[in-house]
Structure 1
Amino acid sequence: MTVDDVTDRRVKRTRMAIFEAFRELVLTRKYDDIRLADIIDMSGIGRSTFYEHFRNKDDVLVTSIEPLFSALAKIPPGAAEREHVQFVIEHFWEQRRFARIVFRDVLYEKLSRKLADMIELEIAVGDPAEKRFQSVAAASAMLGVIRAWLAGEFSMTAEDLSRRLMQTARQEVGGDD
């Protein structure tokens, strides 16, 4: 085992402790009432260790959801695999108590911005303004539909929702016309 392997495991363990503490706090408190000190205390790490990994609690939120958003970001350019998208949708459903919290208000805006940034890196549109427009539109549409589904505004299987998201997003983001 190399020093890099040990360091990598330590980094993963630290980040996982932070993510788990953050998740627990989000489920038990209002987001605005969560302080960095709470995350640090609950995760059992030091303040300087926290700052080696994250800037603030918003950074923890956005970083924790990034792997899930990577599948959604591939939908608009048509590069997503249905199985990956369905996995994400099923995960949101299984974790709907947490998802309903983070898909609210200010947090929803932060997540929407993050997904739009990720989509922007994926789509091939020459004009920067058009690229941003399409990215924001696709992110808002997808997350809005997922949020409404989680809230029970309509009933659909995760498989059907995945398929519909893929069809709709590809139609809306088509490139320069």
Structure 2
Amino acid sequence: MATTRASNTPSGDRRVRRTQTALARALLRLVEERDLSRIAVADVAELAGVSRSTFYDHYRDVHELAEAACTAMIDRLVESLPMPAVDAEDPLAEAAASLEAFFASLAEHAGLYRALLGPQGSARVADHIRRRTAAAIHARLSEEPTAQDDDPHDVSAAFTAGALIGVASDWLHRGCPRTPAEMAALTWPLITAVHPLPLRPRSRS
């Protein structure tokens, strides 16, 4: 994740978190109206209700704010990946629904993701997405829990993560021509073909 200028401030500082949240929300609103490259620090600060100097207390520029906002959203998005619990009542239906939610979340902030995952985008964000997604897939398909920051050498999980992110990026840059439901229906069989999921319920004690 991007390192902000407030990184030496205790994470529990509510005032810092409130300011960063306000700046992120302002950026997300602005990126719905115009390209990221056309958004100035003054635009974000004004909409967030803070001064420019306050903005610079937290971020170097708009691009760093965008990286921080995007990686934070990715961490939440990872939780919606199509890795159903093996003891779910209907794991296949659960997986399809979570994959649809994944694409819907991307579409909600398509402008920001397009900017950061495009040819002139952020390598840091792309790597963050790859690592988080691969780790989440590994954790859900493994009997052993994996720490959030671990980078397991799981080739199949990394391959699946790369394929999913590649499809999502292509979809975003084409202007999301298919609905999230259609993308889920098209993508889910490809994921299971490469990396079948353990769908048989665990025995209950």
Alignment TM class, shorter chain as reference: 0.5 to 0.7
Paired with 2:126 and 2:19, the residues of 1 have a C-alpha distance of 26
Supply the RMSD in Å over aligned alpha carbons.
4.2
Match 1:97 to one of 79, 88, 111: 111
Q: Unpaired runs of 5+ in structure 1?
A: 1-6
Q: TM-score, normalised by structure 1?
A: 0.61
> 1:173 matched to which residue of 2?
195
User: For the Cα contact (< 8 Å) 2:31–2:111, is it kept in 1?
Assistant: no
- Could you tell me how far 1:88 is from its partner in structure 2? 2.7
How does 1:53-68 map onto structure 2 within 5 Å? 56-57=64-65, 58-68=67-77
Paired with 1:41 and 1:153, the residues of 2 have a C-alpha distance of 29
Paired with 1:143 and 1:153, the residues of 2 have a C-alpha distance of 15
> 2:126 matched to which residue of 1?
112
How does 1:4-19 map onto structure 2 within 5 Å? 13-19=18-24
**Residues 35, 63 of structure 1: CA spacing in aligned structure 2 closer, same or farther, 3 A cutoff?**
farther
- Could you tell me how far 1:17 is from its partner in structure 2? 0.6
What amino acid sits opposite 1:70 in the alignment? Answer: E
Paired with 1:23 and 1:102, the residues of 2 have a C-alpha distance of 13
Helix, strand or coil: the match of 2:121? Answer: helix
Match 1:161 to one of 183, 186, 197: 183
Larger radius of gyration: 2
What amino acid sits opposite 1:116 in the alignment? Answer: R
User: For the Cα contact (< 8 Å) 2:118–2:173, is it kept in 1?
Assistant: no
Q: TM-score, normalised by structure 2?
A: 0.54
> 1:82 matched to which residue of 2?
96
Q: Deviations over 1:91-148 (max 9, x none)?
A: 333443343323312536434322222233331399x7741x4344223211221222
What amino acid sits opposite 1:17 in the alignment? Answer: A
Paired with 1:155 and 1:60, the residues of 2 have a C-alpha distance of 25
User: For the Cα contact (< 8 Å) 1:75–1:170, is it kept in 2?
Assistant: no
Fraction of identical pairs, as percent: 17
What amino acid sits opposite 1:22 in the alignment? Answer: L
Helix, strand or coil: the match of 1:107? Answer: coil
Q: Per residue, is there more helix in 1 or in 2?
A: 1
Q: How many residue pairs are counted as aligned between the two chains?
A: 161
Is residue 152 from structure 1 mapped to residue 174 from structure 2 by the alignment?
A: yes
Helix, strand or coil: the match of 1:105? Answer: coil
Helix, strand or coil: the match of 1:120? Answer: helix
Q: Deviations over 1:59-94 (max 9, x none)?
A: 33211332123323x549988633232123123334
> 1:50 matched to which residue of 2?
58
- Could you tell me how far 1:19 is from its partner in structure 2? 1.1
User: For the Cα contact (< 8 Å) 2:134–2:160, is it kept in 1?
Assistant: no
Q: Unpaired runs of 5+ in structure 2?
A: 1-11, 145-150, 198-205
